[in-house]
Chains A and B, each alone.
Chain A
């Protein structure tokens, strides 16, 4: 919920105008992704009595209990600051998910022994797609761990080379995979045409070595057995 610095300025009405009928998908680079929410609400309850929150374990349990409710997407009960933040799906939203109003939320908190001062409530629009979903898919780098037995300064000097190698390895890995796929089809002629429709082996790979002729192994064929914990 506190994913980014982005503060939504999009109002619920504007969104409704754009999506007269709620669209459950967003499009990124021509690809559609199902995102069930757009503009939801972020309610912040400040100055919550710490006496009512009791202690950190009870605050955590209150958080758990709030999250049990379908219209609540995320809840954060911060005992130290005496603050509760709730991301919820408001009645005004145009999606087809369970909804609740701010009053209902306040009532639920009251039923849990937490009485909210109405003056300490901030209830603002929250852009689920930009502030939550997109952040989780592209989180910021907040720190850096150097490899074991290296200091941060050493790592800074080594990093460009490591990054270049990593990128190179990724390309090589993909090439290796493509080669493996070709070889697999050659090694399994009985299934090749079912795997890739109409597949025939390339002429250069149809040759068989003398040993291969004797032992029935095609030239270049090798077993590809993986191991669980490869390096990267």
Chain B
């Protein structure tokens, strides 16, 4: 066989594989076959190559919901939109338009005709700010290879002053009709800002109820005093990056997480784990991450999975392999939790809006809308009962029925007087119990009583108590140029406040950084030389964290955190069997130790020379180090190499 023939047969082989692989097949059908598939809806999107606004056709391909778009210059782009048709149709029912801004920061004569390139939060936007993100610095102590959010050596530093940040906070709090009430302080690494404690306190004094600190947790773990300080200043939760239980899946902060959890435990603070889910990279550890959180429910309130947003240009095959959407992650969770957290247990974010609309209609006071697009987020609550049984909320509450019941009441209240509204509310609440199966609810929870106090007394502390007894599982899928859907963007409620006063939806800020995020931050940044002259003791290298893996792994805290996990999903009460990749690779019980060792050997063979455990292999992370003594660990993997 000639070289050409073998090349041809290789290509044919790849084509056959792609067309028969369940994950890849929807990308590799003939166009005339695709065009015959049932269309669900149409939207506007962009060409990933040239950013021309084109029609996006959302269609059904077997179990998948796909989006296709055609650019006259760059032809077809096919992408997965949602990996479960039934779930898509179920969630879609609760989509609704919220209220945007009564005082938008940016007025366009064209009413946003050029959306998404007219952004600045215009009058066309349909949701108020649910969560406001404010970048306090672009400095970071890590240098993760995939991240473009931090200042590299010699690049301008964006680090607003305390007064400038107060200005931004007040801007967010003066939004009408609903001021931003939840704030995420982000970066770079926000704890690198020398006045981070004052910043948090200023945000609290500006009126934010919920303050999240989006961090790797490393600085807090290494400096437990900081945990007390940020908690005292008003931080509600750490929004902590956590990409897996193993070192391989989570090279960013695997070694420091035990320290961080210990520090926040002592400081009386809680954390939300935030895994970015990438197919083929860490999608096998979703169940393990939930189990890890259940093992630490005293400090972990939620796991908020973020299916990866493939922003930037990347090879098509890699994109197809790594793409995962919300239902894709949900299905894997079902598999990896032995069916304990099933597909049916999830609901989309706008469901919650139904409850808030009822309270608003009854009280006449504005409530948070949560009117985001149904495809952007999903969530559920799971309860860890006294007998170690894990119970999702949907097993004892008819969430769909309840939301529809409340919406009917809202419709009935329209145009009625105060007394009549109250009468409708009483009638509605009297029927409430039929949506709660008291027999199956966790022993520690009285859901009906808790909801009564939320709905009647607007006692949100009760909701807080519910959260104390449960673990919230969330999904938030940010868009990229391939999946872009303008209907989703205009309903976005996760916003970024920029230094020029404008406010942007997450998915314009980050998907088109060249015209929004990077452009404006560059305008307001301090050039590196000016920064150096005004911060004489500062040095780029000093900012970087150097990890001592050996020392961290030797600590009792590390061994306790990863070595003594209870397997809640493999327990007989759930009728389950063992979960793949579940047990920690290092501190597994003695019986499994040999198997773990064997797996570790196989792993190191498959990634040649990967002695540091970063998962990238020698040469790709550049460390080539057999020792873990860190010296200038710029890849952040803990290997100590450059």
- Partner-B contacts on A (CB < 8 A): 2-3, 31-34, 36-37, 56-61, 63-64, 67-68, 70, 73, 76-81, 96-97, 132-145, 147-151, 158, 162, 165, 170, 173-174, 177, 181, 184-185, 187-188, 191, 194-195, 223-232
Q: Is the CB of A56 within 8 A of B179?
A: no
Q: Is the CB of B210 within 8 A of A191?
A: no
Q: Is the CB of B365 within 8 A of A230?
A: no
| CA distance in complex: A232, B177 (Å) | 11
Binds A, one of B28-36, B111-119, B441-449, B559-567: B111-119
Q: Which residue of A lies closest to B234 (CB)?
A: A177
Q: Which residue of A lies closest to B128 (CB)?
A: A145
| CA distance in complex: A93, B139 (Å) | 30
Residues of B contacting A33 in the complex (Cβ-Cβ under 8 angstroms):
163-164, 167
Given the interface pairs A143-B102, A149-B414, A230-B209, the reply to whether A32 lies near B161 with Cβ below 8 Å is yes
Q: Is the CB of B464 within 8 A of A148?
A: no
Q: Is the CB of A145 within 8 A of B237?
A: no
| CA distance in complex: A143, B465 (Å) | 37
Q: Which residue of A lies closest to B361 (CB)?
A: A149
Closest Cβ of chain A: how far from B229's Cβ, in Å? 6
Q: Is the CB of B207 within 8 A of A173?
A: yes
Given the interface pairs A141-B102, A230-B460, the reply to whether A147 lies near B161 with Cβ below 8 Å is no
A-B contact pairs, 23 of them (CB 8 A): A36-B523, A57-B52, A60-B113, A60-B117, A61-B51, A61-B53, A63-B114, A77-B114, A80-B113, A132-B501, A137-B167, A139-B106, A139-B107, A142-B102, A148-B361, A149-B421, A173-B207, A195-B229, A226-B237, A227-B460, A228-B472, A230-B209, A231-B359
Q: Is B308 an interface residue (CB 8 A)?
A: no
Residues of A contacting B117 in the complex (Cβ-Cβ under 8 angstroms):
60-61, 63-64, 67
Residues of A contacting B512 in the complex (Cβ-Cβ under 8 angstroms):
64
Residues of B contacting A174 in the complex (Cβ-Cβ under 8 angstroms):
205, 207
Q: Is the CB of A64 within 8 A of B366?
A: no
Q: Is B40 an interface residue (CB 8 A)?
A: no
| CA distance in complex: A67, B514 (Å) | 8
Count contacts on B: residues with CB < 8 A to the other chain.
Answer: 94
Q: Which residue of A lies closest to B209 (CB)?
A: A230
Within 8 Å by CB of B500, from A81, A133, A138, A147, lies: A133
Closest Cβ of chain B: how far from A73's Cβ, in Å? 8
Q: Is the CB of A231 within 8 A of B361?
A: no
Near A by CB (< 8 A), chain B positions 360-375 give 360-361, 364-368, 370
Q: Is the CB of B110 within 8 A of A162?
A: no
Q: Is B120 an interface residue (CB 8 A)?
A: yes
Residues of B contacting A132 in the complex (Cβ-Cβ under 8 angstroms):
500-501
Given contact pairs A33-B163, A139-B105, A140-B103, a sample of 7 additional A-B residue pairs in the complex whose CB atoms are under 8 Å apart: A37-B523, A60-B113, A133-B501, A174-B205, A177-B234, A228-B182, A228-B472
Q: Is B204 an interface residue (CB 8 A)?
A: yes
Q: Is the CB of A137 within 8 A of B53?
A: no
Residues of B contacting A145 in the complex (Cβ-Cβ under 8 angstroms):
99, 102, 177
Residues of A contacting B604 in the complex (Cβ-Cβ under 8 angstroms):
none
Q: Is the CB of B178 within 8 A of A232?
A: yes
Q: Is B625 an interface residue (CB 8 A)?
A: no
| CA distance in complex: A57, B414 (Å) | 40
Residues of A contacting B413 in the complex (Cβ-Cβ under 8 angstroms):
149
Q: Is the CB of A137 within 8 A of B501?
A: yes
Residues of A contacting B106 in the complex (Cβ-Cβ under 8 angstroms):
3, 136, 139
Residues of A contacting B207 in the complex (Cβ-Cβ under 8 angstroms):
170, 173-174
Q: Is B415 an interface residue (CB 8 A)?
A: yes
Q: Is the CB of B268 within 8 A of A149?
A: no
- Partner-A contacts on B (CB < 8 A): 50-54, 99, 101-110, 113-115, 117-118, 120, 123, 130, 160-161, 163-164, 166-167, 171, 174, 176-179, 181-182, 204-205, 207, 209-210, 225, 228-229, 231-232, 234, 236-237, 267-268, 270, 352, 356-357, 359-361, 364-368, 370, 410-411, 413-415, 421, 458, 460-461, 463-465, 467-468, 472, 499-502, 512, 514-515, 519, 522-524, 526-527
Closest Cβ of chain B: how far from A58's Cβ, in Å? 7
Q: Is the CB of A139 within 8 A of B104?
A: yes
Q: Is the CB of A139 within 8 A of B103?
A: yes
Within 8 Å by CB of A184, from B232, B236, B410, B460, lies: B232
Within 8 Å by CB of A78, from B104, B109, B514, lies: B109
Residues of B contacting A151 in the complex (Cβ-Cβ under 8 angstroms):
415
Residues of A contacting B523 in the complex (Cβ-Cβ under 8 angstroms):
36-37, 73, 97
Total A-B Cβ pairs within 8 A: 215
| CA distance in complex: A81, B110 (Å) | 9
Q: Is the CB of B360 within 8 A of A141?
A: no
Q: Is the CB of A226 within 8 A of B210?
A: yes
Closest Cβ of chain B: how far from A1's Cβ, in Å? 9
Within 8 Å by CB of A177, from B107, B109, B205, B458, lies: B205
Given the interface pairs A143-B102, A144-B102, A232-B367, the reply to whether A135 lies near B501 with Cβ below 8 Å is yes
Q: Is the CB of A58 within 8 A of B52?
A: yes
Closest Cβ of chain A: how far from B393's Cβ, in Å? 15
Which of A59, A77, A170, A195: most chain B CB closer than 10 A? A195
Within 8 Å by CB of A142, from B113, B123, B229, B365, lies: B123
| CA distance in complex: A57, B502 (Å) | 24
Which of A2, A67, A137, A185: most chain B CB closer than 10 A? A137
Given the interface pairs A135-B501, A232-B368, the reply to whether A56 lies near B114 with Cβ below 8 Å is yes
Residues of A contacting B232 in the complex (Cβ-Cβ under 8 angstroms):
181, 184-185, 188, 195
Q: Which residue of A lies closest to B460 (CB)?
A: A230
Residues of B contacting A137 in the complex (Cβ-Cβ under 8 angstroms):
167, 171, 501
Q: Is the CB of A148 within 8 A of B113?
A: no
Residues of A contacting B366 in the complex (Cβ-Cβ under 8 angstroms):
147, 232
| CA distance in complex: A191, B502 (Å) | 39
Closest Cβ of chain A: how far from B361's Cβ, in Å? 4
Closest Cβ of chain B: how far from A215's Cβ, in Å? 16
Within 8 Å by CB of A194, from B105, B178, B181, B225, lies: B225
Within 8 Å by CB of A70, from B161, B360, B368, B519, lies: B519
Q: Is the CB of A70 within 8 A of B522?
A: yes
Given the interface pairs A184-B231, A228-B210, the reply to whether A148 lies near B357 with Cβ below 8 Å is yes
Given the interface pairs A33-B163, A140-B103, the reply to whether A229 lies near B114 with Cβ below 8 Å is no
Closest Cβ of chain B: how far from A77's Cβ, in Å? 7
Within 8 Å by CB of B114, from A60, A138, A143, lies: A60
Residues of A contacting B160 in the complex (Cβ-Cβ under 8 angstroms):
34
Given the interface pairs A57-B54, A229-B352, the reply to whether A141 lies near B176 with Cβ below 8 Å is yes
Residues of B contacting A232 in the complex (Cβ-Cβ under 8 angstroms):
178-179, 181, 209, 365-368
Q: Is the CB of A61 within 8 A of B50?
A: yes
Residues of B contacting A135 in the complex (Cβ-Cβ under 8 angstroms):
105, 501
Q: Is the CB of B164 within 8 A of A34?
A: yes
Nearest first, the 3 closest Cβ-Cβ pairs linking A and B are: A136-B501, A149-B361, A60-B114
Q: Is the CB of A136 within 8 A of B502?
A: yes
Q: Is the CB of A227 within 8 A of B53?
A: no
Closest Cβ of chain B: how far from A174's Cβ, in Å? 7
Q: Is the CB of A231 within 8 A of B364?
A: no
| CA distance in complex: A173, B120 (Å) | 30
Q: Is the CB of B161 within 8 A of A64?
A: no
Given the interface pairs A34-B524, A231-B460, the reply to whether A67 lies near B515 with Cβ below 8 Å is yes
Residues of A contacting B171 in the complex (Cβ-Cβ under 8 angstroms):
136-137
Within 8 Å by CB of A79, from B105, B107, B113, B228, lies: B113
Q: Which residue of B lies closest to A3 (CB)?
A: B107
Q: Is the CB of B52 within 8 A of A61?
A: yes
| CA distance in complex: A177, B51 (Å) | 47
Within 8 Å by CB of B364, from A31, A70, A150, lies: A150
| CA distance in complex: A149, B463 (Å) | 24
Closest Cβ of chain B: how far from A103's Cβ, in Å? 23
Q: Is the CB of B114 within 8 A of A148?
A: no
Q: Is the CB of B228 within 8 A of A149?
A: no
Residues of A contacting B526 in the complex (Cβ-Cβ under 8 angstroms):
34
